[in-house]
Amino acid sequence: MAKKDKVSETPATALLRQHGVSFTEHPYEYLEHGGAQHSAQVLGMDPFSVVKTLIMQDQDAKPLVVLMHGNRKVSTKNLARQVGLKSIEPCAPEVANRHSGYLVGGTSPFATRKQMPVFIEETILGLQRICINGGRRGYLVGIDPQVCVRLLGAQPVNCALAE
């Protein structure tokens, strides 16, 4: 089921290359609503190390990015409390697409259309390597999770819930 090994450049991969970040490419057969669990299964990876990029919004509809393990959910209450907001909720897909510049299912935290604060589940930073969306449906890139802190200013938070 694996696709060709090389995928054309995306804004996300262009940004990674521009900053000298080495990454591995992991194309796979995209499945509508398959999510990180599907990509992990198809690629033979642990869903805990496949990181999903979620576009959410606060009580004032200001967007933010949350990076979460593929097999965990975000406790929006815990997240809001930790970052000093009243509430946080997922954006509607069309709103998320507008904020990120990517299609839901292919959202990368790198090179988003709008600058947004980025929050990363702190346990992700304990992993040696993660796979995260490379800016296209059916395409993950493998990177050191510290890249998210270095390039995105991702702030560690503790908001994971078992799925």
pLDDT per residue as tens digits for the range 27-62: 999 999 899 999 999 999 999 999 999 999 999 999
pLDDT per residue as tens digits for the range 105-152: 999 999 999 999 999 999 999 999 999 999 999 999 999 999 999 999
Q: Hey, how many other C-beta atoms are within 10 angstroms of the C-beta on 137?
A: 17
C-alpha distances in angstroms, 40 versus 3, 128, 137, 162?
Answer: 15, 16, 14, 16
**pTM for the complete prediction?**
0.94
Query: DSSP letters of 105-163?
Result: TS--STT-SS---EEEEGGGGGSS-EEEEEEETTEEEEE-THHHHHHH-PEEE--EEE-
